[in-house]
Chain A
């Protein structure tokens, strides 16, 4: 039986209250809006820390706590309480969301200082924090759903923060609609869970699965529905197309929502539902396939992008592909996915903030072809971004080395041909990652100046650099700390029961040291190719060369994702809509009008004797009532 904590609700209530105040407040709040917003996020972080230490003080099997709030929906045996649950899995997210979130609030104070709507920006950030915390603290799929669409709403509002530009407004809408496709999966998952187990809470579903209440088919359907939800939220194949456009939002938003936290919600959902995927082998295989495709998909797009934010976004898609892949590899995979999620949260958020810092100094330029040699002008940005770079490509002892290496290791250990295929994909992904990230580094910070005439790059103010430095420290150390004595795996063990999986005792396909060597070789190859193409002495044209292979062209067009969606869904949908509009007017209403005019012709005879059809209506009712009475009178004789 879980203990209770009365503090959990404050995690959500504080940022939600702050968001409400900032949204409803008047212009008078403009001067302090950002401070209120940052304090709210900080307060949530402090509550999170207190809960974390309290949790560490309890025995591992008693660490989860709940807080029942009220009965949300109860109809028949469909009973959903508004109850919060904090366990080892959710505390990881709570600390990531509020910790990185607070840093990004601080950064945004300076980044958004010239925007007259800064108060509104902080309101949306707070709204996001509250919704994301609800997502990870809800104790049922339906409460999770509220947070799930809540973060989608916050994401929509923030992508479209400058929605006076039509392209940005379109990007926001695209993200929401793609997420809604995923939400269909979450809706269906809740329905399947209810019908199969009579419960939609995580514990209820877990117990139901354990008790064998559901058939294998039902469990695989449930798993597939959850995967669809995860695919939408985490920008995985085939619902990945929205993430690149989402970079329309202010850069701190890209760092927080579209790199560190919201887009990882799919990984959370699958990990949280481990009890389903552990016994639904088809769904689990689908998870692996989606992850493997996406990790290459994102990496390939990343190679072709000249927009620094879009290159990073493609990278995010690819790195989440790694995480999803890991969650499909059984009990030990969940913990490694979580580890990569957290280290990625540090280094990717750090790099996005670095990109924002570069843009800040370069008149909001995002085209890397117009950067170059910035390391001398923005040293702090260069060093922090560089540390994140080393972490993501997986150089020891930086964070990404530990977390990505583990995923490659378990991919290889998946067994048989599957292991070899997955292992090769993860290694190939590592090489491509090293290539495109080196390309970003070289094009941005090295080489010659290719700036626009009016660019005067300068280092960003301390409010921006300090969060970058803190995240860089995380990029350096997090992996090492997590791996000390397997402490992170052991911490999560009560949730995932990784120790029952026999990982560790099992024979490895390759010894870990060989895996590391292979991974580092892949990285070295990727870096070398990048240096050969973009390194010292290589000229980088100001406009992307047009005489490139068809493959490059396809990669630049995001592997035709938008073209496909347009051809398969948008244009047929528009044609159908147009056709239905014609049917409605000509056929259905046409028939009605035909009957109607016939009636009116008849009625016009009546009209001549009356003062008009309109006024005679009152009579009609009376006639009708009298008619009833008369008929009845006749019949009852």
Chain B
């Protein structure tokens, strides 16, 4: 069964169909896009049913020799982490399409192209998480930029062209570093294994000398740290998120940026265990800086732009994810992977609802809102719940992952965990200050007649809110999928006690 290939090809076929549709019939284009992405989501869930939670390593494996001269394979497969990230993408895509039904109208480019680009992006997202061949991964990693670039540049607002170019240059720079490391790996594998390979499982057998390993690690790590993004590689994100349409931002921050943290686990930890350990403490410090830096700047943006605010909260959250990854404990690792999924949902909710607020008010300044609780109660409630998820309220999904990250960090680096825990105070501020400014208080001038969420918007946001609450109480459903792979990647590091209470 080539289930992953078929899954990945479906959205691409859908986008081809969209291009063939008449430009004038926008509604048909939207319906086709929604239909295709829904079918893909259902298909993805069906495939996930066949996933065996009891085994580690890749499943649903496909492998075809692609360019035999260089040992390049078309290799696909998923472990728990990849499966959940793919499912996250598959669930969010139809939600974004439904939520952003009218987002592309009045843009420079046509509506059908917007949805076609979203579907192309969906294929890329499946591919990048399913690739088990580093060359294939690199291709998806870079090719992914193209639809995003056009989605920002063609449909965004404000300084969209500048933001799109900034995004592109940053990513290109990271990509080039990764490319250098990939070539390096190729050379070493050819020398050590007799035949060159790009297969991620095969490459783990290499034994690298310290210096080589450090350089190769850094090439990958910086590329991923830009994508994730980690301080100080973050400045492209607020610009891109502000200029992009909300739907694009959801996929950008909710899914695409996870390629960075995913890559750290998949490639940095498994291919360069010694360098990971060597750079681990430095990355822990960078993570802590990210947590606080992102949080403070998010607080600052409560005087400013709501989309920039959300993107700075994400920088803080990504700090938690990298903290958990480089704590090298079972709890930190599983917590970080779960965090990637949960952050996808909570950021999606925040961006979609902020997008609806902006569309209604025709402004993205936090201070232009005010009193929405009394004018548009459903919108206000959904925004509030999404905010609570972002500040990791116990009972909501993000609490479980944030706490696992912190407890996992505490096992190895108690001081770092104590400092990181202080971040939860700032989280309360960066959510509750904008909540107060935009939802509470007297109704701000110009907001008196804003309309509450319509049925389409309610249908789009309901599943996200439901999942945020559901996984707060039943995270074990996800953790059962995550744990085996996370455990394996930690024990492969061979780094001593990786869990608490061993006395």
Interchain CA distance A74-B166 in the complex, whole Å: 42
- Contact partner of A78 (CB less than 8 A), chosen from B143, B371, B499, is B499
- Within the complex, which residue of A166, A584, A614, A628 is in contact with B179, where a contact is CB–CB below 8 Å? A628
In the complex, A600 Cα to B196 Cα: how many Å?
A: 36
Q: State which of B22-30, B114-122, B183-191, B251-259 sits at the interface with chain A.
A: B183-191
Is B417 among interface residues, defined by CB-CB distance under 8 A?
yes
CB distance from B152 to the nearest CB of A (A): 11
CB 8 Å contact bits of A623-636 with B (1 = contact, 0 = none): 01101110111011
**Contacting pair B500 A580 (CB below 8 A):** no
Cross-chain contact B135 with A628 (CB below 8 angstroms): yes
A-B contact pairs, 21 of them (CB 8 A): A75-B486, A76-B329, A146-B395, A149-B395, A150-B394, A153-B393, A163-B436, A163-B441, A164-B443, A176-B432, A187-B403, A577-B296, A580-B300, A581-B296, A581-B297, A592-B236, A613-B165, A614-B164, A625-B139, A625-B142, A628-B182
Residue A53 at the chain B interface, CB threshold 8 Å: no
Kindly provide the distance from the CB of B499 to the nearest chain A CB, expressed in whole angstroms: 4
Within 8 A of A (CB), among B52-76: 67, 69-70
Q: Are A578 and B153 in contact (CB under 8 A)?
A: no
Contact B296 A580 (CB under 8 A): yes
Q: Check B429 against A195 for contact (C-beta < 8 Å).
A: no
Instruction: Specify which of B182, B373, B428 lies most central, judged by the most chain A CB atoms within 10 Å of its CB.
Output: B428
- Stretch of A56-64, A105-113, A177-185, A430-438 contacting B (4+ beta carbons < 8 Å): A177-185
Contact yes or no, B501 A198, CB < 8 A: yes
Q: With a CB–CB cut-off of 8 A, which chain B residues contact A581? A: 296-297, 300
B453 at the interface (CB under 8 A from A): no
Q: A149-B394, A187-B421, A578-B300 are in contact. List 6 more A-B contacts (CB 8 A).
A: A72-B476, A164-B374, A180-B428, A198-B502, A592-B170, A629-B67
User: On chain A, which size bracket covers the interface?
Assistant: 35 or more
Q: A173 CA to B153 CA in the complex, in Å?
A: 38
Q: Which residues of A contact B418 (CB under 8 A)?
A: 188
Instruction: Indicate if the CB atoms of A181 and B425 lie closer than 8 Å.
Output: yes
Q: Is B326 an interface position by the 8 A CB rule?
A: no
Q: Is the Cβ of B440 less than 8 Å from the Cβ of A160?
A: yes
Q: Is the CB of A78 within 8 A of B422?
A: no
Residues of A within 8 A of B400 (CB): 73
- Indicate whether A599 reaches chain B with its CB closer than 8 angstroms: yes
* A173 CB contact (under 8 Å) in B135, B138, B183, B432: B432
Residues of A within 8 A of B442 (CB): 164, 166
Q: Is the CB of B407 within 8 A of A78?
A: yes
The closest CB in chain B to the CB of A76 belongs to B330
Which of B168, B414, B487 is in CB contact (< 8 Å) with A617?
A: B168
A-B interface pairs (CB < 8 A), number: 203
B177 lies within 8 A of chain A by Cβ: no
- A70-B474, A82-B473 known; A580 and B297 CB under 8 Å? yes
Residue of B138, B146, B296, B334 with most partner-chain A CB within 10 A: B296
Which B residues are in CB contact (< 8 Å) with A173? 432-433, 436
Shortest CB-to-CB span from A137 to chain B, Å, is: 14
B112 to chain A, nearest CB (A): 20
Q: Is B475 an interface residue (CB 8 A)?
A: yes
- Docked-complex contact A592 and B235, CB < 8 angstroms: yes
The reply on A191 being an interface residue by CB < 8 A is: yes
Q: Is B108 an interface residue when CB atoms closer than 8 A count as contact?
A: no
Chain B residue nearest in CB terms to A149: B394
Contact of A72 among B425, B473, B487 (CB under 8 A): B473
- When the two chains form their complex, are residues B334 and A195 in contact, meaning their CB atoms are under 8 A apart? no
| Minimal beta-carbon separation of A68 from chain B (angstroms) | 14
Determine whether the beta carbon of A624 is less than 8 Å from that of B232.
no
A177 & B429 in contact (Cβ 8 Å cutoff): yes
A166 touches B149 (CB 8 A): no
Which residues of the other chain, B, contact A589 by a CB distance below 8 angstroms?
235
Of all chain A residues, which has the CB nearest B338?
Answer: A75
Report if B320 contacts A (CB, 8 A): no
Complex: how many Å from CA A182 to CA B147?
A: 46
Nearest CB on B from A210, distance (A) = 14
Q: What B residues does A627 contact at CB under 8 A?
A: 179
Q: Are B335 and A75 in contact (CB under 8 A)?
A: yes
Q: Once the chains are docked, how many angstroms separate the CA of A197 from the CA of B500?
A: 8
Cα A146 to Cα B232 in complex, Å, equals: 34
Cβ of B371 and Cβ of A164 under 8 Å apart?
yes
A71:B476 contact, CB within 8 angstroms: yes
Q: Is the CB of B300 within 8 A of A588?
A: no
